[in-house]
Amino acid sequence: MKVNRLWPLLLLVILLSGCGIVEPNSAKKAAAPYRQDPSQGVFAAKVSAKQVVKLIREQLPHAQILKVTLKKQGRFYQYHVQARQKKQYYRLSVNAMQPIITDQKHTKLSAKNAKREVISLRGLKSLDQIKQVAISEINDGHLVAYTLDRQRRITYYDLLIHSRAHHTVRLRIDAKRGNILERQQVGN
């Protein structure tokens, strides 16, 4: 008899406690700062830039890598690589989840691309170390794209970060030393 009287009360408590759980969990996910979840955005990629370069060099053994970019294309992340070999300029796309070349185009090497500096991966800070520099500068966003490039004898990462407080910011970080070279707000 006691169980029959308590049953509606117990059911009401269960229903109300279930409703209370949904709100805080979704609020936490929406407000989760970059510092707490650094695996957001491009860090979900399973293939590293070094693996991409290795794959490109297997396909084009004498290729010189000019630029590596990771960004979202449709629903998935893709690496976009610019390279040169002999008198050809290549644009390749690599799946960020599996080391597979998904697209390859080449054209005659232009004078401008013939003069571009080649990226060397020796002595570079890891992306995790670069991420820590970004976190110390902008702690409330998430990384959505990055580029590894070289100009004026400096290899650098260009990080594109969506931040609630700063909107969209581009950080240019020296890939060997880890210091911030440039910070620019690029959008809302």
| pLDDT tens digit sequence for 10-42 | 333 333 333 322 223 333 333 333 233 433 455
Residue 29 inside a domain? The answer is no
User: What CATH number does residue 52 fall under?
Assistant: 3.10.450.40
Residue 30 inside a domain? The answer is no
Residue 1 inside a domain? The answer is no
Q: Which domain holds residue 174?
A: 41-187
Residue 116 inside a domain? The answer is yes
Instruction: For strands 88-95 and 101-108, give the pairing.
Output: antiparallel
Task: Indicate the pTM of the whole model.
Answer: 0.70
Query: For the chain, how many structural domains are there in total?
Result: 1
